[in-house]
Structure 1
């Protein structure tokens, strides 16, 4: 969702062009949007925390705003621009429906449009503020000293309430995206899922790590492609400012070649970075099948596709265990049953009290990657061989023993790997179900 602005003349031309191409919406289309928004339950959710505690009553109701957003998304293929929402609400909906929705009547010229646009923007900002768990204002270059002052003065309880609101809104959107397959989800999923984070680039430009001025997106951070993805030079705002960097000496004569090599090295280092967020995602799927498409590339109705059912945003690599555990706890509150949970080394390397122990306490069974040197046959005892955490008969064929090794080395594809893993089952050694009288002395 975005808004736009520009120089007066440029903005006048854009509004004029929008007015020229304007077409009134059919009442039936607006009625359909009203029904969908009312049936969604989103109005009731947002009205819990997007309200005025004092001052004049808003001239635009939250319900009408959401209907305008819905119509804008339908008309513009998923894109929501506040200018277009304003145009729809005040100038493209018929007068009778506008009156029903409580939308004020503004004159159709630049000043009238700006008056409606200001109302739309204020309501949108009120929604963002109610769900923003950060004490730092965006869209301005804060000094690190000012940012630290704002963090120190913030009310932790208020920030926690906002974080909870953001989670509620995010979960509402995710639940809406899987609503039509909820039946299949209950039937085909055993509650198992994977938790992982993926970087999301911001529109804001990153600033020098630890510098005196923050980016216009002060809660974002640098993503490092290698390791745990955390910026090794990152200095949290709550900590003291780092001393300013020393001035570089001028390079002359024979030092120019060394300086050129330094620039090349710096470019390589910067190529590893992306300024943005980590989106921690919980993804579930039908683990019994490896593909969701038929031979003709159409969806297989008997296979559940990969579905995102949980999400949290944070600085890259900052708190993988915290964010993953927060998602899993809220999944339980939303009625999802626990199963296996797969995570990479970012989770496995966490403190046990922050991830492994509470995850098991929620009923999940953690699954992690083995290191490359832990794949295949890892030795044995009394004739049995240990292959990736499971005991097998020593007569198991080598292609089955080395299936995961061959997958990592790209000697086989994923489908062949899945077939070989399934073919291991007859060779698996099962523990005794009853005690041996000789061993117990009975």
Structure 2
């Protein structure tokens, strides 16, 4: 096999490579600067920042708005949230019009002293912001002794009024930066048809600093960082944990004309982000992001979460989620499957309340099974799962706005799923007129009571029926009310779809797959939140703000890519009279008008 000569001559091949016409950095269109400036202004984060910085001693310095716009442009063009890259963008890549917008002076490219002075202004402006929001400002240039670092780390956990206020303000700024693209996408109608399904996940947010050293007695520069362990992993990642909520979608059921496909098409945006120490406030952080979505008026549907959220206490996660109106789709660990407890006589089987006389073999069909067997069940397990479906309590009403549901005995109602001698004896249903069953119709024969599973009772109960007062509550009154938290500790295991059933598989599996796809996009595409070298600023305040800016640009890119691929008429941008901040503007359009003085 012969190769071209240029392949055999490396130097000649390098000389033939295309080169840019000039070594000067490319100029950023004014429309792109106007777009990110529009998003930043309409997020409302600058209002909170300006109010916090007002009245602080010292000169005002470079506006925080200029620094944040520079970081957003550096993320878009260089996939970096480093202040050094933001300085290069502000100094070398802006046109005169946008320089005037952002108060960036004209500096000669060959004047190193002037360039260094401007960079120092950028760093001081960002440091002024992080200092104002930090509950306990510390020296971020060296590793503190463990005892001294513990005092500063405690400010992120204690209940001091000023510490709580600053932590809440920092999270409000982060929420506004993240939600600005969500609000605009919702206003534009990109969530039309979305059922409000949300996927919650906590992912590692690595730090580039060294961890604490017990031998030397020194803490890490990131005093609130720790070791994040992903599910099934024995090796931790040193840094913080980022709680991300994504807009996901379930699948159509098997009997639907579009079975197996997504129920709605929409951009899978990140709806919320919270940065925290690993292993702390996993449930409350997810609840906070859900509460931040309430003012937007988005639909409320299912919430799918992995086993880290299943392990949360009821009062920290499940109860709040249900009160917000969301239904839960959860997974379980090996020791959590099977019979999990009971409530008012009903048995909690894999997250669903069932008849107290459900056969033990069916109730324990998943007891002790490993994850591999559960994810790919054999035919025998599938038959057992299908056989226990009729014994589950039926939903009669709800959930209401408080998360309360009313459940009914499977033998009660006009369409019972089982026949129960105990129920017939306790309630004595009236005998109706004889009905004619069409034996040639499978639907008619399956609906007859004689075709329903029969609940088996003990021979002693059959011979000597106990008094009604001794029967379980679900048997005496076939309808029960279940409120969030009524089941106590085991309420964290309750969910709204039968575990491993068709409805659960159509909801949990695709929603979790979409959640993992979002994690892959934020870590493997243009902007990588898992690369600590792209966000070298010190401190948790700085990392929280940079994470929010990263999510903002990831959402913006997701919206633009989704519009190009799903709406052919928007692949080329028409002439626009009003700039909405989402549609890419023409190159000859100068974005927004200059901001007022």
TM-score tier after normalising by the smaller chain length: 0.5 to 0.7
The CA deviation string for residues 139-195 of structure 1, in whole angstroms up to 9 with x for no partner, is: 420112223444678993333233223323332343345457533535222x34343
CA distance in 2, matches of 1:171, 1:92: 29
- CA separation of 1:341 and 1:153: change in aligned 2, threshold 3 A: closer
Q: Are the equivalent residues in 2 in contact too, given 1:37–1:43 (CA < 8 A)?
A: no
- CA separation of 1:60 and 1:30: change in aligned 2, threshold 3 A: farther
Equivalent of residue 322 in structure 1, options 284, 294, 309: 284
- CA separation of 1:68 and 1:274: change in aligned 2, threshold 3 A: closer
**Structure 1 residue aligned with 2:514:** none
- Say yes or no: does 1:166 pair with 2:170: yes
- CA separation of 1:185 and 1:166: change in aligned 2, threshold 3 A: farther
Q: Are the equivalent residues in 2 in contact too, given 1:130–1:165 (CA < 8 A)?
A: no
**Structure 2 residue aligned with 1:86:** 87
Higher relative contact order at CA 8 Å, sep ≥6: structure 1 or structure 2? 2
The CA deviation string for residues 208-267 of structure 1, in whole angstroms up to 9 with x for no partner, is: 36973210111101234579x9xxxxxxxxxxxxxxxxxxxxxxxxxxxxxxxxxxxxxx
Larger radius of gyration: 2
**Structure 1 residue aligned with 2:198:** 193
Which runs of structure 2 are paired with 1:109-188 in the superposition (5 Å)?
109-133=111-135, 135-150=137-152, 156-178=160-182, 182=186, 183-185=189-191, 187-188=193-194
**Structure 2 residue aligned with 1:282:** 245
- CA separation of 1:214 and 1:334: change in aligned 2, threshold 3 A: farther
- Say yes or no: does 1:331 pair with 2:293: yes
CA distance in 1, matches of 2:264, 2:48: 39
Report the 3-state secondary structure (helix = DSSP H, G, I; strand = E; otherwise coil) of the residue aligned with 2:208: coil
Which runs of structure 2 are paired with 1:344-423 in the superposition (5 Å)?
344-372=306-334, 388=350, 389=352, 408-409=372-373, 412=376
**Structure 1 residue aligned with 2:275:** 313
Shift of 1:283: 3.1
- CA separation of 1:304 and 1:433: change in aligned 2, threshold 3 A: farther
- CA separation of 1:370 and 1:204: change in aligned 2, threshold 3 A: same
Q: Are the equivalent residues in 1 in contact too, given 2:33–2:98 (CA < 8 A)?
A: no
Which runs of structure 2 are paired with 1:194-233 in the superposition (5 Å)?
194-208=199-213, 212-224=217-229
Report the 3-state secondary structure (helix = DSSP H, G, I; strand = E; otherwise coil) of the residue aligned with 1:312: strand
CA distance in 2, matches of 1:25, 1:423: 67
Count how many residue pairs are aligned between Structure 1 and Structure 2: 361
CA distance in 2, matches of 1:39, 1:355: 32
CA distance in 1, matches of 2:329, 2:43: 39
CA distance in 2, matches of 1:153, 1:219: 10
Shift of 1:370: 3.3
CA distance in 1, matches of 2:295, 2:330: 25
- CA separation of 1:96 and 1:340: change in aligned 2, threshold 3 A: closer
Report the 3-state secondary structure (helix = DSSP H, G, I; strand = E; otherwise coil) of the residue aligned with 2:272: strand
- CA separation of 1:279 and 1:62: change in aligned 2, threshold 3 A: closer
Shift of 1:43: 7.1
Q: Are the equivalent residues in 2 in contact too, given 1:49–1:130 (CA < 8 A)?
A: no
- CA separation of 1:164 and 1:334: change in aligned 2, threshold 3 A: farther
**Structure 2 residue aligned with 1:38:** 38
Shift of 1:112: 0.7
Q: Are the equivalent residues in 2 in contact too, given 1:406–1:412 (CA < 8 A)?
A: no
Equivalent of residue 273 in structure 1, options 236, 239, 258: 236
CA distance in 2, matches of 1:32, 1:346: 40
Which runs of structure 2 are paired with 1:240-259 in the superposition (5 Å)?
none
CA distance in 2, matches of 1:98, 1:126: 22
- CA separation of 1:421 and 1:127: change in aligned 2, threshold 3 A: farther
Farther-moved stretch of structure 1 (160-169 vs 174-183): 174-183
Q: Are the equivalent residues in 2 in contact too, given 1:345–1:368 (CA < 8 A)?
A: yes
- CA separation of 1:91 and 1:429: change in aligned 2, threshold 3 A: closer
